[in-house]
Amino acid sequence: RSQMASFEACVAATYSASVVERVTSSCFFDAHETAPPSSRNAYPDIARRCSWDAPSAS
């Protein structure tokens, strides 16, 4: 009888840990807002050529 009680306690603990793991992992899949850090510029300056800087085709 004590082996059965021990087995039941083991199964209950395993199931409990499984439930906690399932709840925790589902939390990580929830939608979160993502953005670059506030100290970082999302659209950095880009060097662009002007039309008058284009090489001539002569």
Q: What does the pLDDT look like over 5-53, one tens digit per residue? A: 666 766 665 555 555 555 555 555 556 666 666 666 666 666 666 666 5
Return d(Cα 8, Cα 2) in angstroms, integer.
Answer: 10
| Residue 52: per-residue pLDDT | 61
Cβ neighbors of 42 (< 8 A, separation 6 or more) are: 35, 36
Whole-angstrom distance between the N-terminal and C-terminal Cα of the chain?
A: 99
> What does the pLDDT read at residue 14?
57
Q: What pLDDT, on a 0 to 100 scale, did the predictor assign at position 55?
A: 62
In which domain, by residue range, is 16 found? 1-29
Length of the chain measured in residues: 58
What are the CA-CA distances from residue 17 to residues 9, 24, 55 (Å)?
12, 10, 68
**18: in domain:** yes
Q: Cα separation of 21 and 52, whole Å?
A: 62
pLDDT at residue 56, rounded to an integer: 60
pTM over 0.85: no
Q: Is residue 49 included in any domain, yes or no?
A: no
- Asked, for residue 36, whether it belongs to a domain, the answer is no
